[in-house]
Amino acid sequence: MTADSLPTAFDLASRQREISVAEFFLKNRHLLGFDSGAKALLTTVKEAVDNALDACEEAGILPEIRIEVKPIPHADDVFVVVVEDNGPGIVESQLSRIFGKLLYGSKFHKLAQSRGQQGMGISAAGMYAQLTTGKPLHVLSRVAGQTRATELYVSIDTAKNRPEMHKKQQVKWNRRHGTRVEAELQGYYQKGPHSIDMYLNQTAIANPHVTLRFENPNDEKLRFIRSVSELPAPPVSVKPHPHGVELGMLIQMLNNTHCRTLLPFLEQEFSRVGRKTARAIIAQAGNRLSARSYPRHIARAQAQALYHAMQEVPVSAPRTDCLVPIGEKQLEAGLRKELKAEFYTVVTRPAAVYRGNPFQVEVAIAYGRPGGVGLEVAADGHIHKAARQRQAAKEEATDASARLLRFANRVPLLYEPGACAITKAVMQTNWRAYGLRQSKGALPIAPMIIMVHIASVWVPFTSEAKEAVAGYAEILKELKLGLQACGRRLASHLRQTRRLQQEYDKRTHIEKHLPQIGNALQDILQLSDTARDKAMSNLDKSLHRRRKIR
């Protein structure tokens, strides 16, 4: 190749092009969770179910969701996925864009907790279906009060990130309101920790108000019926908190506001800023700023002063009614229903903030197998051996690590544990301090399930597939505090269990020698046999009574 044939700056310029976001994610589809057949099938179900749950809850409807995954006969690895909900339905004008355009949705621009946040998932599933089978998504939706449902076949024009409608018509549907989406895609159905079955099981734990019915490719019917018939409180949408705003964002807000002067701008566009705080911020900023400054005319240096003043003036902590944790009671109920154990404890941490976004951590622990150490304290103070003791002891001797269940905004996270802040927090917690075995930097070794939930108006996921939580320092800190609180309670339970065992051993020893003591006393005090037996029985009782078990 000679120097003349090398491209010039002009040649290079002619190759510059805009990249559509759909093309980008089609090429990078592992970023959205479509890198293998098994994951593609799970992700498709997950995105459709998450959307269904969000829609039901937003409209105040107790969710009932039917999921079906069936192999297509005579087609290798091709499945049809159906997810049908009893939600409010989607109006016709929005249908094609919701299912046929990436980065389109209602949840991105508001600060409120929801499962979806990107406006990508279900359209990406459609794009993957189209890529692997060439078939468009088949959608059916009926809005309450309308006589008919809208039926739509839609795919994505990836070069333009635009919906392509193939057929749209009004049809009868016996559901009064709801949405049904059907996709045909290449995939692989598997059991185990990454399965659709597991995802639905864990969804039921974190959402005790939801009923899920699943028919899997093996023709098994799984049912998760709600244990709570009240919806969680609807999360409130909030404004940004002044302490979490960055300079560039402030400049942008100043340019885009509808407020004509600075004082109402501060009051209306920020959370926790009243008249008094707003005036304090303006006074602190100085730089010729006043309550009547026109936001769009504020210069960069003034904006910078305003920004610093917003950080310095004390403002109440962010509102937390935008967050809906599962709640200690509900979480324990959900855990008890799906997992049998000997000891349960749940901690809901107070809300905290990362980069201005409120979030809240919940941790639950289910320890030991049912039956546990197998010792029970009776009402009279006697300790009894329960059945199954030997069995349980044998199981406990195994070297299995604790199982970790991760959740974000009530959605189970099944993939990428290694990249997740939750896993890191569990591994960095010193479980030996709570009486468990643990190798350095590993999960504790115990017959235990640790469940961790993080609720936030914006969960910082490590990728668009929403499989792992990014390790912001504030989040790691809250996670650890929650784990430690649960750990201390577990430690107290384990100490008690151990005391019980020691006490039991001691008493067994005493009881063994009581008859000899009785005989000796009888000789010394010259008692009758009846008097001796009575004295011994009293002694026995008082021994049990005095050595109270906490």
String of contacts with its own copies for each residue 300-329, x by CB under 8 A: x--xx-------------------------
Torsion (CA) 269, 275, 280, 283 in degrees, nearest 10: 80
Residue in 472, 501, 507, 517 binding its own copies, rule: CB under 8 A: 472
> Could you say which residues in the range 443-462 bind its own copies, by CB under 8 A?
458, 460-462
Place of tokens 């604790």: 402
String of contacts with its own copies for each residue 46-85, x by CB under 8 A: ---------x--xxx-------------------------
Contact flag: residue 368 with its own copies (CB under 8 A): no
Nearer to its own copies (CB atom), residue 70 or residue 110: 110
Place of tokens 């668009």: 464
How far is CA 374 from each of CA 2, 365, 388, 500, rounded to the nearest angstrom?
A: 84, 20, 7, 10
Q: What's the min distance (Å) between Cβ of 536 and its own copies?
A: 58
Residue 164: CB partners within 8 Å, gap ≥ 6? 100, 136, 154, 155, 156, 157
> Could you say which residues in the range 402-421 bind its own copies, by CB under 8 A?
416, 418-419
Q: Which stretch binds its own copies (CB under 8 A): 10-18, 44-52, 283-291, 396-404?
A: 10-18
DSSP assignment of 244-306 equals: G--HHHHHHHHHH---SSHHHHHHHHSTT--HHHHHHHHHHH-TT--TT--GGG--HHHHHHH
Contact flag: residue 520 with its own copies (CB under 8 A): no
> Could you say which residues in the range 152-171 bind its own copies, by CB under 8 A?
158-159
> Could you say which residues in the range 215-254 bind its own copies, by CB under 8 A?
234, 246-249, 251-252
Contact flag: residue 257 with its own copies (CB under 8 A): no
On whether the CB atoms of residues 24 and 127 are closer than 8 A, the answer is no
Other Cβ atoms less than 10 A from the Cβ of 40: the count is 26
Contact flag: residue 30 with its own copies (CB under 8 A): yes
Largest CA distance in the chain: 124
Contact flag: residue 105 with its own copies (CB under 8 A): yes
How many residues touch its own copies under the rule CB under 8 A: the total is 79
**Spatial distance between the Cα atoms of 361 and 359, rounded to a whole number of angstroms:** 7
What burial letters (b/e) apply to 48-82, b meaning 16+ CB within 10 Å? Answer: bbbbbbbbbbbbebebbbbbbbeeeeeeeebbbbb
Residue in 38, 62, 72, 131 binding its own copies, rule: CB under 8 A: 131
Q: What's the min distance (Å) between Cβ of 21 and its own copies?
A: 5
Q: What's the min distance (Å) between Cβ of 106 and its own copies?
A: 4
Nearer to its own copies (CB atom), residue 30 or residue 388: 30
Nearer to its own copies (CB atom), residue 60 or residue 73: 60
Contact flag: residue 19 with its own copies (CB under 8 A): yes
On whether the CB atoms of residues 252 and 270 are closer than 8 A, the answer is no
Contact flag: residue 119 with its own copies (CB under 8 A): yes
